[in-house]
Amino acid sequence: MTFSEHFYTTEDGLSLYYRSYGCGGNEVVCLPGLTRNSKDFHEIAQHLAPQYRVLSLDLRGRGWSGWDPDWRNYNPATYIRDTWKLVDQLDISSFILLGTSLGGLLAMVMASQRPERVRAVVLNDVGPEADPAGYARILASFDQDVEVRDWNEAARHCKQTYQLALPDMPDEFWLAYVHNNYREGPAGRPVPDSDPAIAVAIREGDQRRVAGVQVDPWEAFRALTMPCLVIRGELSDILSADIVQRMTAVKPDLKTAVIPNRGHAPLLDEPASLAAIDAFLEQLPPHEG
């Protein structure tokens, strides 16, 4: 299953990229993690494409989307506004949200903002709060400025960074995986496929304000009235079993799945991930779009 590539223009004039898989009328919108991009959803998008139109986005500053000249715009309020702009422009009246990490937080807020537009939410290894150890690890990663000379060295660095979350993967996997995180830079050297200013926004900005209002992620989660599935990596240092238990107490109809031998975050191509997503989507009421 192939995909088509598209660009659209945001309210402030930035050009953003997205991929489209499958046919229209029953849409799934995929939102990536903090410095990730649309490539992360390629396998799950191909899997769903026979029955859904899957839109996989590059948030501003990532992948093929434009880099924002003002780092202050790298915040949830802007990402959410950009996403609403796309679905409105495409005249999508209702859709399913699938978000990994940061993308899941954006999905929760979007679903709480306009519940009549969001049919269901899939959260990939993310909840209303993060385990402090994992959050500290992510913050520390922004202090690492590692230059690599070639793709093999980039793959080794990628393996060193992510192998705790993706153990026992062969070197061939990492050489392919690194192309989701890097692009060819000056002199042919791989460079990270995201704007370095995102790190400035994380350190200096307020990542919990949406449209000028301080947002409580637990409040956003409590507001979810639509079906919701949370996928947790068994080895995750971001989404603990305790957090999932508290999420279930807040939302008793919450569907959950634990993906063996995965940390933060599952790739969504694992048999357990595919089975959980398929079962969740199959129990949704028929789409009337």
C-alpha–C-alpha distance, residues 18 and 121, integer Å: 19
**Would you state the pLDDT for residue 214?**
62
Q: Which comes out higher in pLDDT, residue 185 or 249? A: 249
Average pLDDT, rounded, for the chain: 93
Residues 135-191: tens digit of each pLDDT = 888 877 776 667 888 999 999 989 988 999 999 899 999 999 999 989 998 788 999
Containing H/E element for 272? helix 271-282
What pLDDT band is residue 37 in, cutting at 50, 70 and 90?
Answer: very high
Q: How confident is the model at residue 128 (pLDDT cuts 50, 70, 90)?
A: very high
Torsion, Cα 163 166 171 175, to 10 degrees, reads -90
- pLDDT for the residue numbered 186: 79
Indicate whether 89 pLDDT > 70. yes
**With bands split at pLDDT 50, 70 and 90, how would you rate the model's confidence at 1?**
low
For the chain, what are the domain ranges? 3-135+212-282
The pLDDT assigned to 209 comes to: 56
- Does the reported pTM lie above 0.85? yes
Percentage of residues of the chain with pLDDT beyond 70: 95
The helix (run of H) or strand (run of E) holding residue 121 is strand 118-124
Mean pLDDT of 22-50: 95
* Residue 23 pLDDT exceeds 80: yes
Q: Which of 138, 144, 147 is nearest to 191 (CA)?
A: 147
Residues in CB range of 212: below 8 A, 6 or more apart: 77
* Fold of domain 3-135+212-282: Rossmann fold (3.40.50)
Select from 286, 229, 284 the least CA-distant residue to 253: 229
The mean pLDDT value for 277-286 works out to 95
State both tokens at 127.
Answer: 């909840």
Average pLDDT over residues 196-213: 74
